[in-house]
Amino acid sequence: MQAVVDNLLTNYNRSGKGKVVVVLHGWGDDSRSWKNFAAALDQKYDVLICDLPGFGGSESPKSAWGLDDYSSFVAHLLNKLGIKKVYAVIGHSNGGAIAIRGVARGVLKPEKMILIASAGIRGEYKGRVKALRMMTKAGKLLAAPLPKSLKQKVRRQVYSSVGSDMLVAEHLQETFKKIITDDVRNDASSLVVPTLLLYGEDDDQAPLAYGQTFTQLIKRSTLKTFPNSGHFLQIERPTEIIKAVMDFLA
């Protein structure tokens, strides 16, 4: 299904009946990887998953977007679809940061929120961002004299050396830079919506420490952890994640 939202052609999937549950995917992801998750939830809920702008089948923003832009976009999509009441917002990774910002600013107004391996704690990235900027310049200089076929390979090696996901969506480089410097801890501290946090104990992208921090900041929150699990819990531990989500929503 498609709709035009904020002048962007947007791809989305909606299935099931009941209270509305909105799923926000992470950076570099799209609605396709949430197909089985949605199929489990839509037995009891009206599940909406869109490809956020720049990912999957949705058009890219015309300028660099931040968390505020993405959260406003989600609100505009809901309005476009005539959805006036949202029971829950589920955000994974960067989708979690978008959810936190949107709920804190009153743009999104769910009754409940679920954060799966949520990102949004950016303070420790200051050194990485500085390194990224330096390495980006170095990468361009190193690749400049090379044939076009080799430039991309060199740049990928340079960016991966500082742990950057920039080239996961190369067309959104400026958006990526804007998002990874936007910390949502102040937003989280203002939240009172009941929140479930799900984190893998071996996640190296959104470490368990993030979940512990968010649990301290969000007043009505509960943290559930999963041993021997990484960043994509909905894929690694689907049965357990679905059960935790359904129990919380019920």
Residue 136 pLDDT class (50, 70, 90 cuts): low
Q: What's the 3-state SS for the chain?
A: CEEEECCEEEEEEEECCCCEEEEECCCCCCHHHHHHHHHHHCCCCEEEEECCCCCCCCCCCCCCCCHHHHHHHHHHHHHHCCCCCCCEEEEECHHHHHHHHHHHCCCCCCCEEEEECCCCCCHHHHHHHHHHHHHHHHHHHHHCCCCHHHHHHHHHHHHHCCCCCHHHHHHHHHHHHHHCCCCCHHHHHCCCCCEEEEEECCCCCCCHHHHHHHHHHCCCEEEEEECCCCCCHHHHCHHHHHHHHHHHHC
Mean pLDDT of all residues in the chain? Answer: 89
Query: Is residue 41 predicted with pLDDT exceeding 50?
Result: yes
Q: What is the pLDDT of residue 170?
A: 83
CA separation, residue 199 to residues 41, 182, 211, 237, 242 (Å) = 20, 21, 6, 11, 14
Find the range with the poorest average confidence among 11-15, 161-165, 178-182, 231-235: 161-165
- The pLDDT, as a whole number, for residue 203 is 97
Query: Does pLDDT of 101 surpass 50?
Result: yes
Q: 141-165 pLDDT, tens per residue?
A: 555 565 655 555 545 454 444 444 5
Looking at the DSSP bridge assignments, the partners of residue 46 are 20
The CATH architecture of the domain made up of 2-122+182-249 is 3-Layer(aba) Sandwich (3.40)
The domain ranges of the chain are 2-122+182-249, 125-176
pLDDT for 137 beyond 70: no
Give tens-digit pLDDT for 61-90.
Answer: 999 999 999 999 999 999 999 999 999 999
